[in-house]
A and B are shown apart, each in its own frame.
Chain A
Amino acid sequence: METEEQTPSAFLDIATNLLAILLILTLFALAAPRQFTEGASQLPARPSTGLRFVAPQRERFPPFSRFYVVLADRVTVWDQEAVVAALAAAPHTHSGTTRQGRFDWQPEWLVTRDIDGFQLRFWFDRDALLSQSTPWGVEQTERLVDELAQDAARNRIAPVFIVYPDGLETFVPIYERLQARGQRFRWFTQRPDEPLLIGRHVAQFTHYSLYW
């Protein structure tokens, strides 16, 4: 039960809180127009006459990607279409397997951006890759480089090499041949314990990551 001694104190609390809220609102009101008109990134540029670095331009319509997995003495094309087929056959199963490994399909539950957004993780089965391919050599490198040139000319497909630590030695001659031919390609190192992650989502357009 409230006493007479407590009432002034309660009023004082309410008044203090109201004052604090008013103070915060005033601060926001002062800060908001500045933020709106100038933007968070509108810091004045500092004078600079030093070395220039021209950032690479993001390509408006990049080529299509085909992934190759590089292990020690092995180069295998990733059967991406097998994942597409598995998902088409069982659309409500969010994980599955192909002859090259297992995948985890992560569609966003709410479509807040584009309708085709998704993320996919793929764990390669190393033993399966080794058993399904033959040892790699100079001849295979030459043949691959020729095939890649044809893919690029016919369907504008460019290779993406996923290179495991033990595959670096195998990848070096491929890299050199592609460089010498002026063939377009990308390559990434891949930790053995981590899955390949591909997808389409908004964060790709807020970082400098989408350069082909």
Chain B
Amino acid sequence: MDPRCLGTPLMPRLATLGLLMVLGGVLWGLARAPDRSAALAELGDSVEARQSIAAWESLWSELAERGVAALNPATNDASRRAAGDTVFMRYRNLWGPIDDDARLAFQLAALSGDPARKLALIEPLTRSENPLIRFRAHLELARLQRRLLDFEAARMAARAALAVPDLPERLSADAWFILADSAWEQDRLDEAEIALNAAIAADPGFWDARRLRLEVLARQLARPRQTGAVCLDRTRRMIEDLGALPTLAEDQTQFRDLADRFARQDTMPHVALALIVGLGYRWSGDTERARVILENAERLHGQLPHGCERLILKRISGLLEPASTPGQPP
């Protein structure tokens, strides 16, 4: 028998085997990624939707891997005091050389109990040659006007602070926060949300900004006319803020406190808030209350864009699976 007769069919057989293996690999790969394609089908295949889904899935895989610790705002600055009312109180040594007269004026303004006198002491400092003094003076005017409930004057002063050039980005967080707070007080939620995103981007360790953003986003989510991608982004940011706040305050009881505050509403307005409240209870250790809230979330459907709602409910179903035990992520 000609040995070539045996050798010829061997090659196709090997090639077939190889192709089968490749095919198997492809099929296995497709089977591994149904969530992304299903998610895209839910939100629509746009760039915005892709980005939202990528960020959403990244958040959950981080949570699965590291638990709530994944939401700690990264910082190398041990001097951070997250509750400080100015960036200069939150972080140490942001001032360089200081003019003594300017410093005394700021101190006397802080000491005075008379709002008019405070304003009079600070106002001349807005014309200082030192940009840092000028910035701080505008910021203080904004804070004083906000305390006087003059929101328009507060916004003007905050914008003037943001207009001071050549300052580190972190310093801008307080001015953005005043813009956000004034907008929130006047029910301009879109403006408040944009300003809070800017404040937190400038200083991720800003407790007050994250706390206010939770409130703003909860109300934004309850409003109509938002795309599925925006809805998903807002829910993700709420989870990030919920996870960050107790760490920033160095007070883990805040998980329960925050969950209690949002759960206090007579009727939970949408599934995103149910997820936030459920996670708050879960991370506080109250798994029973978390389970009750999450189990009832399905009844709230129909309030958010369909695709966003489906993705949130999928995660809620995942949280209700019995595999998780207390202490395990997320």
Contact = CB atoms under 8 A, between A and B. Distances in A.
Contact of B106 (A88, A115, A198): A115
Given A55-B257, A61-B146, A64-B113, A113 B286 contact: no
> Which of A40, A58, A60, A87 has the largest number of chain B CB atoms within 10 A?
A60
Interface of B is mostly: helix
Contact of B252 (A41, A47, A63, A65): A41
B81 A87 contact: no
A177 B218 CA distance: 38
B18 interface: no
> Which of B83, B109, B181, B250 has the largest number of chain A CB atoms within 10 A?
B83
B257 A54 contact: yes
B84 interface: yes
A205 B283 contact: no
B285 A60 contact: no
State which size class the interface on A falls in: 35 or more
Contacts of A39: 69, 72, 247, 250
B89 A80 contact: no
A4 interface: no
Interface stretch (B5-13, B97-105, B302-310): B97-105
A47 B114 contact: no
A156 B149 contact: yes
Contacts of B250: 39-41
A63 B149 CA distance: 10
A150 to B, nearest CB: 14
B89 A114 contact: yes
A47 B113 contact: no
Nearest to B254: A55
Contacts of A155: 115-116, 148
Nearest to B255: A45
Contacts of A83: 111
Interface of A is mostly: loop
B260 to A, nearest CB: 5
A6 interface: no
Contacts of B111: 80, 83-84, 87, 118, 120, 198
Contact of B147 (A63, A88, A111): A63
A66 interface: yes
State which size class the interface on B falls in: 35 or more
A40 B250 CA distance: 8
Contact of B112 (A46, A84, A107, A205): A84
Contacts, number: 144
B225 interface: no
A205 to B, nearest CB: 4
Interface in A124-179: 155-157
Contacts of A115: 88, 95, 98, 102-103, 106-107, 133, 136
A116 B110 contact: yes
B326 A47 contact: yes
A46 B285 CA distance: 5
A156 B102 contact: no
Contact of A205 (B81, B110, B147, B285): B81
Contacts of A88: 104, 108
Contacts of A49: 286, 288-289
A111 to B, nearest CB: 5
Nearest to B95: A111
Contacts of B148: 155-156
Interface in A36-80: 37-49, 52, 54-55, 58, 60-67, 80
Complex A-B, nearest 8 residue pairs according to Cβ-Cβ distance, in ascending order = A45-B285, A116-B106, A114-B88, A116-B110, A41-B250, A205-B83, A47-B285, A205-B84
Given A84-B117, A88-B104, A205-B90, 4 more contacts: A37-B66, A47-B286, A47-B287, A63-B147
Interface of B: 66, 69, 72, 81, 83-86, 88-90, 92-93, 95, 98, 100, 102-104, 106-117, 133, 136, 140, 143, 146-149, 181, 208, 212, 246-247, 250-257, 260-261, 283-289, 326-327
19 contacts: A37-B66, A41-B246, A41-B251, A41-B252, A42-B247, A45-B284, A54-B257, A54-B260, A60-B208, A64-B113, A84-B108, A113-B89, A116-B110, A117-B110, A118-B111, A120-B111, A155-B115, A155-B116, A210-B83
